[in-house]
Amino acid sequence: MATALEEHFGVPQINAPQPYGIAATDEWLRAVAKVAGKEDIVEEYIESEHRRIQPELDALREKLKGLYGFVMTGSAYAHGLTSVLKELGVGVDGSIVFHHDPVYDSGQENQNTLKFLVDNYGDIPYFTVSKTQPFQLPAILKRSKADFVIIRHGGLATIAAKLGIPSLAMGDESIPIGYDGIIRTGKIILNIIARKRFDRILARHTELGYTDWWLSQKDPFILARHPELLDEEDKAVIHTENKAEGVKEVG
């Protein structure tokens, strides 16, 4: 829509990353200043904002030191949230995005949010696209170091909770935006971490409903790589049930 407005009606499009995290917010402000004819004052404003949030940001980084977060949302939003977590000093070694849009319809490279994330904050070892089948989530979460999970859809919280991992439902995309958004997000995470003990107790009294064999798998995509294992596991389950019921197997 933004591209159509620009091409057909002359409404300027802001060619910049979404303002999640310090680096992207800086670039977004510069792009807005260029359109508004305020390039002469934008750098001073950016520097003053950096100074303003620095004390609170340093305090939050100290409190969140050593924590790992896991992000499960739409692609561009997940990339932005991961950038914010990195600004807060939170480790992110895993993320699930529901789709992947490297460049939007404008074709502008600045809108390649995943590339901007990796270029500015480093790689995410366990980055997975469109894999939200419930049976895969336990292994996906367990292979990461997640102390908490950020989600957009509340139904995803149950599996994390059964693993003892607290969830933060952040459906409002405006919360982590801009310099103040980093601070807001950090404070919210502290509140979520404060109830981690509740989720650990919950995990001790709930079951995920999957076989011990499946829960012991470290690769969440092992059945896709080796579908023959499913037949072997089915045979093992039938054999165990027959043995328990005293059924004689033939052949």
CATH code of the domain covering residue 106: 3.40.50.12380
Residue 60 phi, psi (nearest 5) = -65, -40
Range of the domain at 228: 221-245
CA distance 116 to 127: 15
Q: Are residues 177 and 226 in the same domain?
A: no
Predicted local confidence at residue 142, as pLDDT: 87
Are 129 and 165 contained in the same domain? yes
7 domain residue, yes or no = yes
Query: At 231, is the secondary structure helix, strand, or coil?
Result: helix
Q: How many structural domains does the chain have? A: 2
pLDDT of residue 245: 47
- The DSSP code for 47 is H
Does 75 fall in a domain? yes
Name the pTM for this structure. Answer: 0.84
Quote the distance between the C-alpha of residue 54 and its chain's center.
24
CA dihedral 105, 125, 53, 60 (to 10 degrees): 140
Asked, for residue 231, whether it belongs to a domain, the answer is yes
* Biggest distance spanned by C-alpha atoms of the chain: 86
Beta-bridge partners for 177: 20
If one counts every other C-beta atom within 10 angstroms of the C-beta of residue 215, the result is 14
Provide φ and ψ at 217, rounded to 5°: -75, 135
- pLDDT by residue for the chain (251 residues), tens only, comes to 767 777 788 887 788 889 999 999 999 999 999 999 999 999 999 999 999 999 999 999 999 999 999 999 888 899 999 999 999 999 999 999 888 776 655 566 777 888 889 999 999 999 998 766 788 888 888 888 899 999 988 777 888 888 999 999 998 899 999 999 999 999 999 999 998 888 889 889 988 888 888 888 888 888 888 888 877 766 555 444 445 545 344 44
Domain assignment present for 251: no
250: in domain: no
* Confidence (pLDDT) at 241: 46
Q: Are residues 72 and 101 in the same domain?
A: yes
